[in-house]
Amino acid sequence: MHLALCQYAIELFEHPHDYQAHLESLIEQAAVRGAELLVMPEYSSLVMTGQMPPEIRGDLHASIAALQPMLPAWLEQCEALARRFGIHLVPGSAPVLDDDGIYRNRAWMFGPSGLIGTQDKLIMTRFEREHWGIEGGSGLQVFDTALGRLGILICYDNEFPMAARLLAEQGVDLIVSPSCTDTESGYYRVRTGARARALENQIAVAVSPTVGEAAWSQALDYNYGRAGLYVPADIGMPASGVVAQSEHITIDRSSWLHVELELSAIAALREEGQVLLRRDWPEQFDASRMHIIEEGSSK
């Protein structure tokens, strides 16, 4: 497949028409180059808070409350763009107020025929828990598409191995990871997690981050990250496991990282690789091997 990962620069759009034109232009740029799956980052929807009065867009809680009535039109535009260009599109995530009164961080996947499904972030960062009041969701979705079997793990979820393992056991070959990190160390944590999940499960993991500064937003104030595609370091793959990665950790204008990905070549490694991590995974839970040897004992 032709994969396009967005290194999304946060910009201030104070009028709805300007933001809508920006989003359409950005998607079109990737689609006309042949991209079949386009991925945008976590909380990319919050750029729409720039349309709010300064006292609201600068307030962490007021801005996400004011965002809620804007989300239906945003999702409608995302779906229309996926249909128009015949693409699969993950337009990033948004804080969504559910019927139970709880905010959850939700990502969507659209295909050429419309909405395929959604995925909530499962494990929340300290900022989300302690300052923002956004709670984790429940359950992992498997997206069956014409491109293959896909999964979504939002940012921090990539730092926990069992979520990716559950998706891999359901036949997912590619996990896409919309991310939003406000420090370089945060970016490297997500990158390290993505590379580890690719290695452990012998799958591909693709990351799309936010970048740039937005003094007008408490939520998107600082952003660092490189778009990247990661695979197992094995036969026929890059020795580093890094297929492609953005050159700079922050940029002023949004850019697409275009990558060709052959999922069958990665799947073949599960039978023919130099190592078989997918097969050997259960051995680490074998108590007859994995236990502490008591002092003075030879076993």
Residue 296 pLDDT exceeds 80:
no
Q: pLDDT tens across 223-279, in order? A: 999 999 999 999 999 999 999 999 999 999 999 999 999 999 999 999 999 999 999
SS3 217: coil
Distance CA 226, CA 229 (A): 10
| CA terminus-to-terminus distance, the chain | 50
Answer yes or no: is pLDDT of 40 > 90.
Answer: yes
| Paired tokens of 17 | 């028409």
Q: What is the mean pLDDT of the chain?
A: 97
User: Residues 141, 117: contact at Cβ < 8 Å?
Assistant: yes
Q: Which domains are present in the chain?
A: 2-285 (3.60.110.10)
Tell me the whole-structure pTM to 2 decimals.
Answer: 0.96
pLDDT score at 47: 98
For 45-87, give the DSSP string: GGGGGGGS-HHHHTSHHHHHHHHGGGHHHHHHHHHHHHHHHT-
